[in-house]
Structures are given as structure tokens and as C-alpha cells.
Amino acid sequence: MTLIHRAKIKCEKCDNEFEIALYGSVNVTLNPELKAKALKGEINSGICPRCNARYEIELPFLYHDMEKEIMIWVFPEKERERAEEIKKELLESSGEFMRIWFKEHPLIIVFGAEELKEKLKEL
């Protein structure tokens, strides 16, 4: 499932109000168009339609490829120093489905779109 909700943003440069789509998870099997966006670092970001200012909302999302059985947690680049903490939190907070998933799959966390790209080449 691709989870989405919309957040209203007020542009700091031109005061224009516009909406940004926010994803908690991105299912590239059901929404293949989101794969290119994820690789370009365009998930949870938006561009002001009036002045083209770019806004990135620093929110982690889950990259899910059902066909290849891949789940990757993509965190903002600047959270890299919290890697160990994040890993622990994810393992502790996951529900039943994730507990079963982790029995057969490693927990994969990346920081930023570049690392996601590299990781997908390896898998």
C-alpha cells in the first residue's frame, strides 16, 4: 500500500500556499512511477508552483517492492548519525507483520536517495 497524505505549505519566498504529498510508504510494485521519484530524492518534497522554490520535508518512508521482496527504510541524510538508534526503534516498534518479515529478511535502512540507489543495485 502506498500511504499518502497532503500537507499545506506556505512558500517562504513568495507566500504562495500549495500542497505537498507526503508518503509514509511507497509501494513501487503498485505505483511504479514512484520508483523514479524515490531514486531522485523527490519523495516527500515539492516545488512551489509560483516561484519554483524547492521544499523537502524530512520524513522517513518505507520503500516496498513486492515483486522483489524488498523493503528499505529511507531516512533523511542528516539522520545518519542516529543509525543505531533508528535500527533499534524500528525493530522494537514493528507490528506482527514486520516480526514475521524480519525472520526471513534483513532490516535495511538507508540515508538519502543516493544510498537507496546504491542499495538497489546490490539487491
Residues forming the site for Zn ion (CB under 5 A): 11, 13-14, 16, 48, 50-51, 53
14 or 91: whose CB is closer to Zn ion? 14
Write down the least CB distance from residue 51 to Zn ion, Å.
Answer: 3
Closest CA to 108 of 64, 43, 57: 64
Write down the least CB distance from residue 14 to Zn ion, Å.
Answer: 3
28 or 48: whose CB is closer to Zn ion? 48
Starting at the edge strand that comes first in sequence, how are the strands of the sheet with 17-27 ordered?
Answer: 3-10, 17-27, 61-65, 70-75, 109-111
Other Cβ atoms less than 10 A from the Cβ of 15: the count is 10
Write down the least CB distance from residue 8 to Zn ion, Å.
Answer: 13
